Amino acid sequence: MSNTIRIKLSPERIANLKELQSITNTNFKDVSLLHLAFVHRSFANEDSDRYLSDNERLEFLGDSVLGILAAEYLYKSLPKGKEGILAKLKSKMVSAPAIAKLSRLYRFPEFLLLGKGEKEKGEVNLNLQADCFEAFLGALYLDQGLNSCRIFLTPHFQKMEKVVENAEETKDYKTILQEFCQKKWKKLPEYVLVKEEGPDHDKEFLVSVSCGQYFQTSGDGKNKRRAEQMAAKSALRILKLL
């Protein structure tokens, strides 16, 4: 038992922790670590004779684990991604709303031990939900190491990246560029497929866009439409419209 807890877990709590491990598909060697990840400061303060700590230290650790693994995932999955794009994606993927959503997916708020004053906010407080998820990651890291955290997070990172990409694609950069070029120079931008490479299931397209002698730039993507959008976005940046 961790030296941060002076308590023998009740059969009900042990059953809850078993259910939690089943939901998260994990198997903790030190179940007291998992328990501590769900002990909020308000609960520990009300039972200070038995609790010497709460989940805040685990949350601190889990926040760093989440950050490094998100950065690693983006670095590997987007080998051509610029630093600014990677930073923007990472910021969205580790944001409180995104992490709180994962917390709810695993029903973490149901297992969180809160003091009387916090109980009403526990189910709906976004920060509490996100903090709890980070504390869980901290506990998982201490119990099983970084690779277990990586395996746990990767499927979620893949979904998050797709959601962010889809949100980006809802911005029609091509239309914005076309309207600007027509108004400014009475010309339409021209798109040219420069190259496509990679296997059929993982192709990469490079498209250039130009408008007379005024500008020429390019963009890439997993399909031609995406590459054209990224080329248009690059042009808008050159023209200082973004």
Mean pLDDT by 10 residues, the chain (242 residues): 61 92 96 92 75 88 97 88 83 92 93 81 76 97 97 91 64 88 94 91 90 94 89 92 80
- Say if residues 61 and 149 touch (Cβ distance below 8 Å): no
Is 190 assigned a catalytic role? no
Q: Which of 12, 46, 49, 134 is catalytic?
A: 134
The pLDDT assigned to 221 comes to 87
The pLDDT assigned to 198 comes to 85
Which domains does the chain carry? 11-169 (1.10.1520.10), 173-238 (3.30.160.20)
The pLDDT assigned to 141 comes to 98
The pLDDT assigned to 3 comes to 47
Is 49 assigned a catalytic role? no
- Say if residues 132 and 103 touch (Cβ distance below 8 Å): yes
Residues of each annotated binding site for Mg(2+): 59, 131, 134
Give which of 61, 56, 66, 27 is closest to 156, Cα–Cα.
66
Q: Model-level pTM?
A: 0.68
Residues of each annotated binding site: 59, 131, 134
Q: Which of 63, 143, 161, 228 is catalytic?
A: 63
Burial of residue 205 (number of CB atoms within 10 Å: 0-12, 13-18, 19+): buried
Give which of 128, 140, 124, 122 is closest to 24, Cα–Cα.
140
Residue with tokens 């009403």, as numbered in its chain:
120
Rounded to a whole number of angstroms, the CA Rg of the chain reads: 24
